[in-house]
């Protein structure tokens, strides 16, 4: 459920006592009710579902998440370090040997 | 639809006579009766609007002199709502649609008939605008409008304006283009961006209004086809993917020829605004209607030269290869996803509906 | 679209897949709760790319699929009335009731309108004061704030010719019900990201403790799904069962407080029968007393509906992850998207529809025998 997409708030106005905004989804624009994000400002990114902004999109968090994915490398050998494999199976934190090694449980 | 406007609000540029039509600003039942009102509508609205494309002989049927060859014949009806949308109108579709149906057999289109079914109460200004766009599209496509008909139905029985156009064209010797000619190994080309028309129309539909820069891509494609055939390539199949999108057309061809189709998702030319609109509504661009676009199935050795010829033409400048024909999974269309997986692209059931899930 | 397209990057997907492959040492069964996640997994081929040991069990997070048959039949009865304009999301149009669906009622002359937002339905009510406008308010917690605001506005603005047919369902009770089932095979959950955008994550730690299952709040794009799976596998491999948020850009632990306040005002918890699964206590929302006037079930006399589910349909088992769609005898034969026996074949994210639409290539020829539907390619 929940087809919701991120868009950028372009304009904000009060209509019939409700906070409405024109939201830009990369070129497509739609009127969105922002009553649930009372402090919404133009330039903010919001997550929109059926014409309502249900949450702010945390841009910094989005970029951090992507950066974390970038830090993971494509493993060249199938299972790499056998010691690391054994350690994982035992549930022991694997020491980060280099940047390409994924950290243990978060 | 536009609100009924005073007669003098209609653009009369180029028209021979001003709009007399008694004092009625809208279609009445009498306009379909075959009497004086019908004649007035033809003489004072349709013919002036059609301009130079119209044949004014006004017999019951048109007698055409066609150069020797096989005759291509096609008909289609146009029921689009709203009548006017970004980039075009029902008038453009009515002409280009049938011209393109003829062109997909490799034919040179020659003449069209135009038959209107009008809802009583349709503002004449709307009808005038539609007729003007029919005339302009016919002139652009180089086809004559040689015969027609008008009927009027009770208010509530129609959607304003329905149009049917039938067209004839001549297929040059040696040209044999039909879906059953698709062969394993054929390369599949598309002439440009997909999903454009459907999004343009959807963007002004009640309940879905969204602002977008997308305009309908309705266009006549017979000259592009001529250029492709002019390379000497043995084009196997041509299809303009309208309702149901690229997915429906590929499916039909795969089924008709008993072959499989493989698409490469990353090759599909979906412009960003179409992608965004689809994302917003939960639609798949492969199922969205197109208008001024064609799919071509060509033998692998001819692909590069056909592509080059297409890209040199205004209606083919963004042409790309999107897939190929295979002997596997006959009748099915399969897409390789960007991630490297496969998915079956099924035949769309009916109109795609926006979804929340 | 910014902050969306980047999360489909095939290169980064490959990295996440490699991490999952490297981490997996034994069989795991993970359930993605949300139908939108199911759709994404099947559509992008993610299930084909995971290690063989990792099995994705498709959960009941498709509100279209689980809307009780009785409510569908009530919707059909209301929509058939000549004084009613019945508004619905597109997803609901082909869901089969006991004898027909909204699509067929539309062909028979019912005034049924597909809308993008419940506010569109309210606007229709304003524009058509002489008609009754009813909005079909289905969905999980994600959609409830929209429906709540709409009926709140209707009340505030005194739009009396508007009403809501409500059938909201809640995720945490469903997760509990699945774990309580004796045939449950699920070892970890991808929680529904947008549900948590609204409700926050507070309802899940008690579930991780009680049932000792990891629950990872997950988004919908390919990278989000893969990251959710990766974190779940890591927890399973190391014997942990915690709540994690892998969708931090859209989910905060506290959720959306103004939305939750509105939900508390407009709705109250009720028992709800999930189509194909059965009664799950306290798993639904209905309009609260303050908004009873706007309840379409009250406004329109739709008592005496007797429901009649297809005897052949095994949606329930699919929804609980007990069978895969193609293991149902009717799959692809009597039951296709064109002639669905149950809701899981109708909804674009129902598991049966997803398998039929995207997966028929791998299934045996016997499963694909249904004749192709005819399509008339007229002009639009």
pLDDT of residue B23: 57
- Answer whether C372's CB lies under 8 Å from B347's CB: yes
Task: Give the pLDDT confidence score for residue B3 in this predicted structure.
Answer: 36
| Cα-Cα end-to-end distance for chain A | 28
Residue with tokens 């009916």: B350
Convert the pLDDT of each residue in C101-131 to its tens digit. 888 888 888 999 988 889 999 999 999 999 9
Chain-wide mean pLDDT for chain C? 88
Give the H/E segment covering residue C220. Answer: none
SS (H, E, C) chain B: CCCCCCHHHCCCCCCCCCCCCCCCCECCHHHHCCCHHHHHHHHHHHHHHHHHHECCCCCCCCCCCCCCCEEEEEEEEECCCCCEECCEEHHHHHHHHHHHHHHCCCCEEEEEEEEEEEECCCEHHHHHHHHHHHHHHHHHHCCEEEEEEEEEECCCCCCCEEEEEEEEEEECCCCCCCHHHCCCCCEEEECCCCCHHHHHHHCCCCCCCCECCCCCCCCCCHHHHHHHHCCCCCCCEEECCCCCHHHHHHHHHHHHHCCEEEEEHHHCCCCHHHHHHHHHHCCCHHHCCCCCCCEEEECHHHHHHHHHHHHCCHHHCCCEEEEEEECCCCCCEEEECCCCCEEEECCCCCCCCCCCC
Higher pLDDT: C221 or C90? It is C221
In a domain, A87, yes or no: no
Contact C338/B276, CB-based, under 8 Å? no
Cα separation, C362 vs A53, whole angstroms: 40
pLDDT for position C184: 86
Q: Looking at residue A47, which CATH number applies to its domain?
A: 2.30.30.140
Instruction: Give the distance from residue B347's alpha carbon to the nearest chain C alpha carbon, in angstroms.
Output: 8
How far apart, in whole angstroms, are the C-alpha atoms of residue B44 and residue B53?
15
Q: Confidence band (pLDDT; 50, 70, 90) for C22?
A: very high
- What is the per-residue pLDDT across B289-311, written as a single tens digit (0 to 9) for each? 999 999 999 999 999 999 999 99
C59 vs C93: CA distance, rounded Å:
22
> Which pLDDT value is given to residue B348?
67
Give how far the C-alpha of residue B282 lies from the chain's centroid of Cα atoms, to the nearest Å.
Answer: 24
C-alpha to C-alpha distance for C25 and A93, rounded to whole angstroms: 16
Three-state SS string over C79-145 comes to HCCCCEEEEECHHHCCCCCCCCCHHHHHHCCCEEEECCCHHHHHHHHHHCCCCEEEEEEEECCCCHH
Rounded CA separation B75/B206 (Å) = 29
The whole-angstrom separation of Cα C231 and Cα A106 is 8
Total number of domains constituting chain A:
1
User: Is residue C370 within 8 Å of C337, Cβ to Cβ?
Assistant: no
Given a cut of 50, the residues of chain B with pLDDT beneath it are 1-20
**Model pLDDT, residue C99:** 84
Q: Which of B62, B155, B152, B78 is nearest to B110 (CA)?
A: B62
Q: How far apart are the C-alpha atoms of C197 and C140, rounded to whole Å?
A: 12
Residue A40: what pLDDT? 95
pLDDT, tens only, C299-333: 998 766 767 777 888 888 887 778 888 899 999 88
Chain A stretch 35-74, residues whose beta carbon is closer than 8 A to a beta carbon of chain C:
35-38, 45, 47, 49-52, 54-55, 57-59, 61-62, 64-66, 69-70, 72-74
% of chain C surpassing 90 pLDDT: 60
User: Cis ω on the peptide bond leading into residue B82 (within 30° of 0)?
Assistant: yes
Number of H helices, E strands in chain A: 2, 5
Q: C22 to chain A, minimum CA–CA distance in Å?
A: 6
Instruction: Give the ipTM.
Output: 0.87
Contact between C43 and B357 under an 8 Å Cβ cutoff? The reply is no
Confidence at residue B205, expressed as pLDDT on a 0 to 100 scale: 76
The superfamily CATH assigns to domain B23-171 is: PurM-like, N-terminal domain (3.30.1330.10)
State the nearest Cα–Cα gap between C293 and chain B, in angstroms.
25
| Contact (CB<8Å) C49/B340 | yes
The stretches in chain A having pLDDT less than 50 are 76-80, 82-83, 94-106
Domain range for residue A26?
5-60
Distance from CA of C309 to the nearest CA of A (A): 23
B353 touches chain C (CB under 8 A): yes
- Looking at residue B32, its pLDDT comes to 80
Q: Are C72 and C46 in contact (CB under 8 A)?
A: no
Name the residue ranges covered by the structural domains of chain B: 23-171, 179-345
Topology (CATH level 3) of domain B179-345: Phosphoribosyl-aminoimidazole Synthetase; Chain A, domain 2 (3.90.650)
- As a whole number of angstroms, the distance between CA B259 and CA B256 comes to 8
Instruction: Supply the DSSP symbol for A96.
Output: -
Measured in residues, chain B has a length of 357
C273-306 exposure pattern, b = at least 16 Cβ within 10 A, e = fewer = bbbbbeebeebbbbbbeebeebbbbebbebeeee
| C274 contact partners, CB below 8 Å, separation of at least 6 | C60, C66, C68, C169, C174, C280, C283, C319
| Tokens read off for B49 | 């609007």
User: Quick one: pLDDT at residue B40?
Assistant: 82
Per-residue pLDDT of C203-250, as tens digits, reads 999 999 999 999 999 999 999 999 999 999 999 999 999 999 999 999
Q: CA nearest B232: which of B184, B316, B318, B299?
A: B299
**Tokens encoding A61:** 């968090």
Closest residue in C to A104 (Cα) is C234
pLDDT of residue B158: 62
Fold of C5-62+181-245: Rossmann fold (3.40.50)
Within 8 A of A91 by CB-CB distance, chain C residues are: 237-239
DSSP state of C335: B
Is it the case that residue C372 has pLDDT exceeding 70?
no
């Amino acid at each position: 459920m929940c087809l919701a997409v991120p868009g950028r708030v372009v304009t904000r106005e009060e209509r019939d006592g409700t906070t409405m905004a024109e939201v830009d989804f990369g070129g497509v624009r739609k009127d969105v009710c922002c009553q649930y994000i009372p402090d919404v400002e133009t330039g903010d990114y919001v997550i929109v579902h059926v014409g309502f902004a249900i949450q702010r999109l945390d841009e910094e968090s989005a970029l951090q998440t992507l950066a974390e994915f970038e830090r993971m490398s494509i493993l060249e050998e199938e299972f790499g370090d056998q010691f690391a494999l054994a350690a994982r199976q035992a549930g022991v934190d694997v020491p980060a040997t280099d940047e390409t090694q994924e950290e243990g449980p978060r | 639809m536009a609100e009924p406007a005073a007669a003098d609000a209609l653009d009369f540029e180029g028209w021979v006579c001003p709009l007399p039509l008694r004092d009625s600003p809208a279609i009445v039942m009498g306009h379909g009766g075959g009497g004086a009102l019908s004649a007035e509508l033809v003489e004072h609205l349709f013919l002036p609007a059609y301009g130079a494309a119209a044949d004014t002989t006004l017999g019951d049927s048109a007698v055409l002199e066609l150069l020797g060859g096989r005759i291509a014949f096609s008909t289609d009806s146009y029921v689009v709502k709203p009548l006017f949308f970004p980039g075009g109108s029902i008038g453009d579709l009515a002409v280009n649609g049938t011209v393109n149906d003829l062109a997909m057999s490799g034919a040179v289109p020659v003449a069209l008939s135009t038959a209107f079914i009008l809802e009583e109460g349709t503002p004449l200004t709307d009808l005038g605008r539609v007729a003007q766009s029919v005339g302009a599209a016919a002139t652009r496509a180089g086809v004559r409008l040689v015969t027609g008909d008008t009927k009027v139905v009770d208010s509530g029985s129609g959607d304003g304006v329905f149009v049917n156009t039938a067209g004839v064209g001549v297929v040059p010797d040696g040209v044999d283009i039909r879906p059953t000619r698709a062969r394993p190994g054929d390369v599949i080309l598309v002439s440009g961006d997909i999903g454009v028309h459907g999004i343009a129309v959807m963007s002004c539909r009640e309940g879905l209004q969204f602002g977008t820069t997308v305009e309908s891509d309705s266009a006549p494609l017979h000259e592009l086809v001529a250029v492709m055939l002019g390379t000497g390539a043995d084009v196997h199949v041509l299809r303009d993917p309208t309702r149901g999108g690229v997915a429906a057309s590929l499916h039909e061809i795969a089924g008709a020829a008993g072959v499989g189709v493989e698409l490469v998702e990353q090759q599909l030319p979906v412009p960003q605004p179409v992608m965004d609109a689809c994302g917003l509504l939960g639609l798949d661009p492969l199922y969205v209607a197109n208008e001024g676009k064609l799919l071509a199935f060509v033998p692998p050795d001819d692909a590069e030269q056909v592509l080059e010829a297409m890209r040199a033409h205004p209606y083919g400048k963004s042409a790309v290869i999107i897939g190929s024909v295979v002997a596997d999974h006959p009748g099915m269309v399969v897409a390789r996803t960007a991630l490297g997986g496969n998915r079956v692209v099924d035949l769309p059931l009916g109109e795609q509906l926006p979804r929340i899930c | 679209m910014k902050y969306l397209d980047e999360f489909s990057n095939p290169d980064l997907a490959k990295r996440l897949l490699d991490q999952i492959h490297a981490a997996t040492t034994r069989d795991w069964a993970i359930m993605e709760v949300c139908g939108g996640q199911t759709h994404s997994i099947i559509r992008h081929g993610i299930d084909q790319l995971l290690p063989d040991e990792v099995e994705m069990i498709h959960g009941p997070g498709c509100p279209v699929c689980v809307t009780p048959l009785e409510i569908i039949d009530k919707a059909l009865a209301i929509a058939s009335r000549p004084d009613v304009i019945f508004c619905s999301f597109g997803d609901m149009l082909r869901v089969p009731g006991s004898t027909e669906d909204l699509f067929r009622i539309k062909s028979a002359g019912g005034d049924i309108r597909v809308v993008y937002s419940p506010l569109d339905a309210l606007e229709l009510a304003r524009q058509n004061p002489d008609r009754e406008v009813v909005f079909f308010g289905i969905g999980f917690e994600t959609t409830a704030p929209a429906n709540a605001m709409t009926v709140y506005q209707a009340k505030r603005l005194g739009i009396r010719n508007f009403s809501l047919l409500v059938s909201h369902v809640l995720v945490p009770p469903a997760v509990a019900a699945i774990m309580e089932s004796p045939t449950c095979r699920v070892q970890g959950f991808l929680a529904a990201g947008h549900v948590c955008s609204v409700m926050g994550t507070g309802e899940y730690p008690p579930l991780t403790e009680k049932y000792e299952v990891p629950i990872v709040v997950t988004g919908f794009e390919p990278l989000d799904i893969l990251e959710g799976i990766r974190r779940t596998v890591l927890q399973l491999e190391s014997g942990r069962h915690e709540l994690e948020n892998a969708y931090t850009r859209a989910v905060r632990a506290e959720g959306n407080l103004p939305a939750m306040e509105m939900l508390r005002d407009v709705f109250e918890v009720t028992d709800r029968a999930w189509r194909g699964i059965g009664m799950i206590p306290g798993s639904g929302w209905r309009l609260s007393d303050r908004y009873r006037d706007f309840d379409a079930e009250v406004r329109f006399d739709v008592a005496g509906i007797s429901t009649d589910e297809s005897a052949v349909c095994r949606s329930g088992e699919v929804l609980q992850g007990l069978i895969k769609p193609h293991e149902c005898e009717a799959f692809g034969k009597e039951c296709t998207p064109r002639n669905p026996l149950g809701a899981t074949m109708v909804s674009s994210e129902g598991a049966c529809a997803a398998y039929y639409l995207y997966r028929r290539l791998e299934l045996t020829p016997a499963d694909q025998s249904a004749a192709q539907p005819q399509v008339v390619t007229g002009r639009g």
